[in-house]
Amino acid sequence: MMTDQQIIQQPVSILDGIGVQSVNRLQKLNIVSVLDLLFHLPIRYEDRTRVTPIANLNIGQSALICGTIEHSEVLMRGKRSLICQLRDGNGSQLSLRFFHFSAAQQSQLQAGVLLSCFGAIRQGYAGLEIIHPEYKILRNEEDIVTESSLTPIYPLTDGLRQSTIQKSVKQALTLCLEKIPEYLPASIRSRFQFPDIQQTLLTLHAPPTEFSSADLQQSIAVKRLAFEEFIAHHLKMLLGKQRHKQWQAPVFPVNENLKQDFINTLPFQLTAAQQRVIAEIASDCAEPHPMLRLVQGDVGSGKTIVAAITALAALSANYQTAIMAPTELLAEQHFRNFSQWFEPFDINLVFLSGQQKGKTRQAILEAIADGSAAIIIGTHALFQESVHFAKLGLIIIDEQHRFGVHQRLALREKSIDAKPHQLVMTATPIPRTLAMLQYSDLDISIIDELPPGRKPITTCAISNERRQQVVNRINHWVQSKKQAYWVCTLIEESEALQCEAAEKTAELLKAALPEVNVALVHGRMKAAEKDQIMQAFKSHQYDLLVATTVIEVGVDVPNAGLMIIENPERLGLSQLHQLRGRVGRGELESYCLLLYQAPLSNTAAHRLGIMRDTQDGFLIAEKDLQLRGPGEIMGTRQTGQIGFKIADLEQHADLLEQVEIAAQQILQEQPESAELIISRWLGGVHQYAEV
Ligand code: ADP
Ligand code: MG
């Protein structure tokens, strides 16, 4: 006897009509078992449950129709086509149009023939028509076949037929619907009036006739599955955290003297918020279990020094620190800052980027592997397979929002014996509901204070028609020994186009501003070249830096207090805020000019208004969430990474609020379900144990 679990886990090949080829095609849709097939949901439905009178048809609808051909002919006008005029019992007319037809079809579809047909209704030249309907010739009206429930239409892959999948699902329902276990506690189901899992899947695969395609996403059945899926993601993070906290981690003993000496060399005093967060981190790292902490702090709040002081703790315990930044530019900047800060310690800092090749790269990899490199700074190149750390004790990830969740998790696996402590930093405040899906494996610290003396940035929106004035303003600005940025943006994230636009703009500005030293950086330059230009800009060999959004994160040049952003209407608020964060870093009065393309839509005007009115990153993030919704905010980079099967962040946003509570309830009431839910939605248990 097979257990229920064995029955539902049987391969799809046991179903009639599923041969080797279909197995392969289904696998492309991630369908391996019969159970997988039942979790492959229709995208819409067709109604073949009843015959619709022609008089009742609506354009756009797909319908089953029954009628007699009154007249048929081949038209040569335009594209050659066969047209059949169909009239039903109520006397209304409809045309069937075939662009591809055989001689046999043509002789079959003659006046007097009774047909049932199905297809999408559209507006033709002379009344309603269906192009290439499915049809069946009937002997009499009783001959017509109607379905007892709506016909589900499934997502397909090349070569897989709709009818194959439809038939297989029907068999799968008979075979194993009853055996699918319920994982949501009854209390949760009744609170939300969710149907049980069997009813849910039955409704979706064989919906009652009153169901419509439009109801699908909003149906309680889909909601129930989406909710379960959200819960699975949240639970995965929670259990991952629990497990992670049980691992051994190196202890970094608190060394107050060393820390104080280090802080005394800084040209500024730490803010109270920085000190608080540093203390939170220190107490995590003094435990023999890995720290998993997210530091949130607005642009310019001084996260880098917090990272450095954490690295100092690892250093004094003789462990390596890996620092990962999302762009080469930022990684290089960190490398320079850290080199300066750690100069008195006579340690080996290395920089690792994807662009280093050959001997240079080999030497760096060796230093990392033999432990002679104490602090390793780089881009995502850090978690490539060829990188082996001798004694990794701390991982710091800067500007986490630019990385996917999985990249973050991958780096954690790099350590051999003990799991390293992990510090994640971001300037983008994450709305709580989203944080729950992505960061509930982390503890959170917030730097809610900017260093003293920062002047507010004056932001104004200026139409492109006044571009010349803006250019003149740069001239004045640099005459008083100050520097400026000009940021070129494009809507498509095509790097090539963006770089081209920046090159062109730089040429134009050079011509328009002969007195001004103009430099250019963009993403397609070699690391060394970018680095050299940034260095030169920082040391004021250039007055104006024309750049793409590569400078979005982290770049720090206090003497640059004027920023022009082209086409700001095309960027999200959070991204604008990040860009603007490049100015207002020193003692200067700073300005950000949003050079938009007129005319502005109302929403765009509203958004630029928000930028003008506030500089509070948290407020901006909230507005961004309201205006764009969670899907856009997280961007495809993030949502794609999460890879929901059924849930949709937009459609099911209202469910997010309840996910945390429900997950806690499951952990308390039936903890054994937690892992089952995770493996139902996110694959085998072994996969998440590694997290
Ligand atoms: P972010 O949080 O955006 O990463 P950074 O770490 O780059 O910010 O810091 C921004 C600037 O503020 C840097 O020039 C840094 O040296 C400086 N800074 C950091 N902490 C303080 C402080 N407590 N007082 C004054 N300046 C500070
Ligand atoms: Mg930073």
* Residue 544: closest CA among 526, 525, 521, 522: 521
Q: Which atom of ligand 1 is nearest to the CA of 297?
A: 2
- Give pLDDT, residue 407: 65
Q: How confident is the model at residue 113 (pLDDT cuts 50, 70, 90)?
A: very high
C-alpha distances in Å from residue 679, one per residue of 213, 239, 257, 292, 688: 29, 12, 48, 24, 8
Task: Note the CATH number of domain 457-614.
Answer: 3.40.50.300
pLDDT of residue 526: 82
| Structure tokens belonging to residue 327 | 């762009």
Q: What is the pLDDT of residue 371?
A: 94
CA of 349 to the centre of ligand 2 (A): 19
Res 399: pLDDT: 77
Q: Which atom of ligand 1 is nearest to the CA of 585?
A: 11
Mean pLDDT across the stretch 442-462?
Answer: 90
Comparing C-alpha atoms, which of 182, 196, 187 is closest to residue 224? 196
Q: Residue 267 contacts by C-beta under 8 Å, 6 or more apart in sequence?
A: none
d(CA 97, CA 128): 11
Q: What is the pLDDT of residue 401?
A: 67
Q: Ligand 1 within 6 A of 580 CB?
A: no
Beta carbons within 8 Å of 530's beta carbon, 6+ residues apart: 328, 329, 332, 521, 550
**C-beta 305 within 6 A of ligand 1:** yes
- Ligand sitting nearest the alpha carbon of 306: 1
How confident is residue 497, by pLDDT bands cut at 50, 70 and 90?
confident
| Residue 408 in this model has a pLDDT that exceeds 70 | no
What DSSP state is assigned to residue 271?
A: P
Q: What is the pLDDT of residue 585?
A: 81
The CA angle 150-151-155, to the nearest 5 degrees, is 135
Task: Check whether 688 has a pLDDT greater than 60.
Answer: no
Enumerate the β-bridge partners of residue 619.
Answer: none
**Region 256-447: CATH code:** 3.40.50.300
The residue contributing the CA closest to ligand 1 atom 10 is 300
pLDDT over threshold 90, residue 185: yes
Rounded to whole angstroms, what are the CA distances from 4 to 37, 175, 679?
Answer: 16, 11, 16
Pocket test for ligand 1, best of 268, 310, 323 (most atoms within 8 A of CB): 268
Cβ atoms 285, 273 nearer than 8 A:
no
What is the model's pLDDT at position 416?
Answer: 58
pLDDT higher at 142 or 269: 269
Q: Is the pLDDT of residue 101 over 70?
A: yes
For residue 578, the ligand closest to its alpha carbon is 1
Q: Kind and range of the H or E element at 127?
A: strand 127-131
The ligand minimizing its distance to the Cα of 338 is: 1
Whether residue 400 has its Cβ less than 6 Å from ligand 1: no
Report the alpha-carbon distance of residue 127 to residue 119 in Å, rounded.
15
458: which residues sit within 8 A by CB, 6+ positions away?
589, 590, 591, 592
Residue 646: per-residue pLDDT: 86
Predicted local distance difference test score (pLDDT) of residue 72: 94
Query: With helix as H, strand as E and coil as C, how does 142-190 read?
Result: HHCCCCCCCEEECCCCCCCCHHHHHHHHHHHHHHHHHHCCCCCCHHHHH
Name the closest ligand to CA 303. Answer: 1
* Ligand 2 ion: Cβ-proximal residues, 5 Å cutoff: 554
Q: Transcribe 361-426 into DSSP letters.
A: HHHHHHHHHHT---EEEESGGGGSTT---SSEEEEEESSGGGS-HHHHHHHHTT-SSSPPEEEEEE
Q: Alpha-carbon distance 68 to 466, whole Å?
A: 68
CA distance 622 to 619: 5
Q: What angle do CA 600, 606, 609 make, to 5 degrees?
A: 100
What's the mean pLDDT in 609-631?
Answer: 81
Residue 307 and residue 366: Cα distance in Å, rounded? Answer: 24
- Give the ligand whose atoms come closest to the C-alpha of residue 399: 2
Residue identified by tokens 């007055």 is 543
Residue 350 CA to ligand 1 center (angstroms) comes to: 22
The predicted pLDDT at position 689 comes to: 33
* Measured distance CA(403)–CA(553) in Å, rounded: 12
Q: With a cut of 90, say whether residue 112 has pLDDT above it.
A: yes
Write out pLDDT tens, residues 7-19. 999 999 999 999 9
Where do the structural domains in the chain lie, given as residue ranges?
Answer: 4-43+156-180, 46-143, 256-447, 457-614
| Per-residue pLDDT at 130 | 95
Residues 6+ apart with CB under 8 A from 348: 367, 372, 373, 374, 375
CA 451 / ligand 1 centre spacing (Å): 7
Residue carrying structure tokens 């997988």: 36
**Helix (H/G/I), strand (E/B), else coil: 1:** coil
pLDDT at 649 over 90: no
State the Cα–Cα distance between residues 246 and 257, nearest whole angstrom.
30
Contact in structure between 523 and 498 (CB atoms under 8 Å): yes
Q: What CA–CA distances, in Å, run from 413 to 281, 408, 621, 690?
A: 21, 9, 32, 8
CB atoms within 10 A of CB 566: 24
Average pLDDT score over residue span 320-331:
89
Answer whether residue 499 shows pLDDT above 70: yes
Ligand 1 lined by 268 (C-beta under 6 Å): yes
- Ligand 2 geometric centre to CA of 303 (Å): 6
Residue range 336-358, pLDDT digits in tens: 999 999 998 889 999 998 888 89
Check pocket membership of 303 for ligand 1, CB cut-off 6 A: yes
Whether residue 271 has its Cβ less than 6 Å from ligand 1: yes
Any atom of ligand 1 within 6 Å of the Cβ of 332: no
Reported as a pLDDT band with limits 50, 70 and 90, residue 477 is very high
Confidence of residue 509 (pLDDT cuts 50, 70, 90): very high
CA-closest candidate to residue 583, choices 557, 612, 621, 550: 557
pLDDT at residue 279, rounded to an integer: 95
3-state helix, strand, coil in the chain (%, to 5): 45, 20, 35
Please state, for a pLDDT cut of 70, what percent of the chain lies above it.
91
Decide which of 251 and 427 is more confident. 251
Among residues 334, 323, 338, 331, the alpha carbon closest in space to that of 396 is found at 323
Evaluate whether 256-447 and 457-614 have a shared fold: yes
Q: Is 66 in the pocket of ligand 1 (CB under 6 A)?
A: no
Q: Which residue has the tokens 């002379």?
A: 126
46-143 has which fold?
A: OB fold (Dihydrolipoamide Acetyltransferase, E2P) (2.40.50)
pLDDT of 120 over the 50 cut: yes
Ligand nearest to the CA of 270: 1
Q: Is the pLDDT of residue 640 over 50?
A: no
Range name among 108-122, 450-464, 521-535 with the lowest pLDDT average: 521-535
Centroid of ligand 2 to alpha carbon of 300 (angstroms)? 7
* Mean of pLDDT over the chain: 88
The number of angstroms, rounded, from the C-alpha of 331 to the middle of its chain's C-alpha atoms is 23
What distance in Å separates the CA atoms of residue 228 and residue 363, rounded to the nearest whole number?
49
Percent of the chain with pLDDT over 90: 58
Q: Which atom of ligand 1 is nearest to the CA of 453?
A: 25
Residue 242, φ and ψ in degrees, nearest 5: -55, -50
State whether the beta carbon of 295 lies less than 6 angstroms from ligand 1: no
Q: Which residue has the higher pLDDT, 434 or 280?
A: 280
- Cis peptide before 431, with omega less than 30 degrees from 0? no
Is a pLDDT exceeding 90 seen at residue 690?
no
Which is more confidently placed, 685 or 646?
646
Residue nearest to atom 4 of ligand 1 (CA): 303
Bigger pLDDT: 656 vs 228? 228
> Which residue, by CA, sits nearest to atom 16 of ligand 1?
302
What residue owns the CA closest to ligand 1's atom 18? 302
Q: State the pLDDT confidence band at 629, using cuts at 50, 70 and 90.
A: low
Q: How far away, in angstroms, is 208 Cα from ligand 2 center?
A: 55
- The finding on whether 556 has its CB within 6 A of some atom of ligand 1 is yes
Contacts of 50 (CB under 8 A, 6+ apart): 64, 146, 209
Q: Are 383 and 411 in contact (CB under 8 A)?
A: yes
User: Residue 304: CB within 6 Å of ligand 1?
Assistant: yes
- Residue 214's pLDDT is 67
Best residue among 301, 332, 579 to mutate for probing ligand 1, ranked by most atoms within 8 Å of CB:
301
Confidence of residue 555 (pLDDT cuts 50, 70, 90): confident
Q: At residue 412, what is the residue type? A: R
